[in-house]
């Protein structure tokens, strides 16, 4: 009896091993995904599936908590809530009402790297969903009232998931210690003090910068005909609006400010060390030659646009070494400045 049981268990073990080895093999699905890129930069991936008369509609935006800055943490997730508060053609909360009245439902979420909006609905609702999505993506209604109400909801989310949760606090502390410089160090829900500090102006600048067609990808799966889908004209027209700062501009500006051009935005100690080094040793011999091309390659309009639309805060510091007669007037056009001239500094004075 024991032998029979042993043989049966051995056979079962071999069957499980074979099944596991088979399931470990890569599975290739023959998916006929079509890619479309519109003139406004919007990308659309379509996959027809006529099994059921339903459609899934996903909008992926290349913006998450890692694209935020200190002082505005949590604004990416805040926008997940703000996006359901009406636009030019649809009133607040009407998006969900119309979607659900037709038998559909919606959701949204934010990660460190992206923000995603998804809707699932009967196939005869596609035109309506395209119209509602394009309306809020292009003309979202941003008001003090919606900011106040949605900020309160996000703060309560944070209390539940982090402040009043042992595991939530542990993971928040872990990320803060593990990532000392990378933006993964702050939580997707943001710091409470930053949530309180976000203004309506911050929201408008954030929306103008990150919610543009060239920052989005739509994935459409379900019961529709790609070839005769008349909604693509709606995508082109409705999603088009005055674009914010392009992603390439932001990346270039960050690279420019973080090392390619010798501009330091630092605390008093770092600035003191920098000034002392220049006073004692002078700038490198090839200082001007190295950075001349980079300086000429960035226009005044580009700097102004990035500062106004992307770099948060009311105070920024520029250290200009050498003759500044041509540079100061350009900086003054960006707004009022406080100028400190160190040419009269006594080098022989004791520290």
In the structure, what pLDDT confidence band is assigned to residue 15 with cuts at 50, 70 and 90?
very low
Question: Can you list the alpha helix ranges (DSSP code H) found in 256-326?
Answer: 268-281, 287-297, 300-309
pLDDT value for 324: 63
CATH of 34-244, one of 3.90.650.10, 3.40.50.2300, 3.60.20.10, 3.30.830.10: 3.30.830.10
Query: Which pLDDT belongs to residue 242?
Result: 47
240 vs 75, residue with greater confidence: 75
Q: Are 190 and 73 in contact (CB under 8 A)?
A: yes
Task: Give pLDDT, residue 180.
Answer: 81
What pTM, to 2 d.p., does this model score? 0.62
pLDDT in tens, 327-337: 667 666 666 66
* Sign of the CA dihedral running 50, 52, 55, 58: negative
Confidence band for 10, pLDDT divided at 50, 70 and 90? very low
Read off the pLDDT of residues 17-32 as tens digits, 9 standing for 90 and up.
544 444 556 566 678 8
pLDDT for position 318: 62
Query: Among 78-82, 199-203, 211-215, whose mean pLDDT is lowest?
Result: 211-215
Mean pLDDT of 166-192: 90
Tell me how far the alpha carbon of residue 245 is from its chain's centroid.
13
Tell me the C-alpha to C-alpha distance, in Å, between residue 22 and each of 10, 235, 278: 18, 43, 66
CA angle 63, 309, 129 (to 5 degrees): 45
* Spans of all domains in the chain: 34-244, 249-332
- Pairwise CA distance, residues 220 & 126, whole Å: 10
């Amino acid at each position: 009896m024991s032998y029979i049981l042993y043989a049966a268990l051995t056979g079962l073990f071999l069957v499980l091993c074979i099944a596991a080895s088979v399931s470990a093999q890569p599975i290739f699905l023959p998916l006929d995904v079509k890619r479309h890129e519109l003139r406004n930069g919007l990308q659309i991936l379509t996959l027809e599936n006529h099994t059921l008369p339903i459609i899934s509609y996903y909008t992926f935006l290349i913006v998450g908590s890692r694209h935020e800055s200190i002082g505005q943490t949590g604004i990416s997730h805040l926008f997940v809530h703000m996006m359901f508060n009406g636009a030019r053609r649809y009133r607040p909360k009407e998006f969900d009402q119309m979607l659900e009245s037709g038998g559909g439902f919606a959701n949204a979420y934010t990660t460190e790297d992206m923000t995603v909006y998804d809707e699932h609905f009967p196939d005869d609702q596609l035109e309506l969903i395209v119209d509602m999505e394009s309306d809020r993506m292009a003309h979202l209604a941003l008001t003090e009232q919606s900011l106040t109400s949605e900020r309160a909801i996000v703060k309560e989310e944070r209390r539940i998931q982090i402040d009043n949760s042992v595991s939530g606090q542990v993971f928040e502390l872990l990320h803060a210690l593990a990532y000392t410089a990378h933006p993964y160090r702050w939580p997707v829900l943001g710091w409470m003090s930053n949530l309180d500090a976000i203004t309506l102006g911050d929201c408008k600048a954030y929306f103008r910068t990150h919610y543009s067609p060239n920052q989005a990808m739509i994935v459409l799966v379900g019961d529709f005909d790609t070839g005769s889908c008349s909604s693509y004209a709606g995508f082109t027209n409705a999603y088009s609006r005055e674009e914010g700062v392009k992603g390439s501009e932001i990346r270039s500006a960050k690279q420019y400010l973080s090392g390619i051009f010798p501009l330091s935005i630092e605390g008093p100690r770092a600035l003191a060390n920098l000034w002392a080094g220049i006073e004692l040793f002078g700038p490198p011999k090839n200082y001007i030659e190295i950075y001349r091309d980079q300086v000429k390659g960035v226009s005044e309009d580009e700097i102004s646009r990035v500062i106004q639309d992307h770099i948060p805060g009311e105070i920024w510091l520029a250290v200009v070494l050498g003759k500044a007669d041509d540079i100061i007037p350009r900086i003054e056009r960006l707004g009022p400045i406080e100028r400190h001239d160190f040419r009269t500094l006594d080098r022989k004075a004791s520290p």
